[in-house]
């Protein structure tokens, strides 16, 4: 179990390294460590949580300011997503995937705080966008964050 997860993290990191190289982005050791922490966490972290874990795991301090800067970079590179409703960050679940990344939708469990990333079909998204824009509202982002209770937590009821 533990090993399997470690493999998955390593695989995602290798892929991220290769992708960044192709796009001319520099995934420095620091940035790579930040991504690794998010991948290992398996749950969303705030920039402050991240700085704490960075200190514990890497053994060096990381200011909240640099945590934000690095998260920003990883977000631009498409490796990390920001959850606007909770102000937290989560590693993309599709880093190691070959398929095209869809507009992400996040299912956020309000009990255990795990997040599931699911892709939304383009057509559905366009319909949603059209019906919203019919009201004269301008969407800033197409990312959806839905709050509720995950299957694991529901099974514990
Ligand atoms: Zn993603
Ligand atoms: Zn995927
Ligand atoms: Zn849950």
Chunk the chain into consecutive blocks of 10 residues (it has 157) and report each block's average pLDDT, rounded to whole numbers: 76 95 94 96 94 95 94 96 95 92 91 92 88 92 91 93
Rounded to the nearest angstrom, the distance between the alpha carbon of 11 and the centre of ligand 2 is 13
Ligand nearest to the CA of 117: 1
Structure tokens at 1: 């179990």
At residue 87, the pLDDT reads 94
Q: 120 CA to middle of ligand 3, Å?
A: 21
Segment holding 48, helix H or strand E: helix 47-58
pLDDT, residue 2, reads 52
Give the pTM: 0.88
pLDDT of residue 3: 61
Q: For residue 99, how far is its CA from the centre of ligand 2 (angstroms)?
A: 6
State CA 149 to chain mean position distance.
19
What's the confidence (pLDDT) of residue 1? 46
């Amino acid at each position: 179990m533990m090993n399997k997860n470690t493999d998955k993290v390593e695989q995602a990191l290798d892929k991220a390294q290769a992708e960044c190289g192709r796009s001319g982005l520099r995934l420095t050791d620091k940035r790579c460590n930040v991504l690794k922490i998010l991948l290992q966490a398996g749950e969303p972290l705030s920039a402050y949580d991240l700085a704490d874990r960075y200190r514990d795991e890497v053994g060096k301090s990381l200011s909240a300011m640099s945590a934000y800067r690095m998260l920003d970079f990883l977000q631009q590179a498409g490796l990390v997503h920001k959850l606007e409703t909770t102000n937290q960050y989560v590693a993309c679940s599709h880093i190691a995937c070959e398929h095209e990344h869809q507009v992400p939708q996040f299912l956020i469990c309000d009990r255990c705080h795990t997040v599931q990333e699911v892709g939304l079909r383009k057509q559905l998204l366009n319909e949603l966008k059209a019906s919203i824009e019919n009201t004269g509202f301008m969407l800033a982002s197409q990312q959806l964050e839905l709050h509720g209770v995950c299957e694991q937590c529901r099974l514990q009821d």
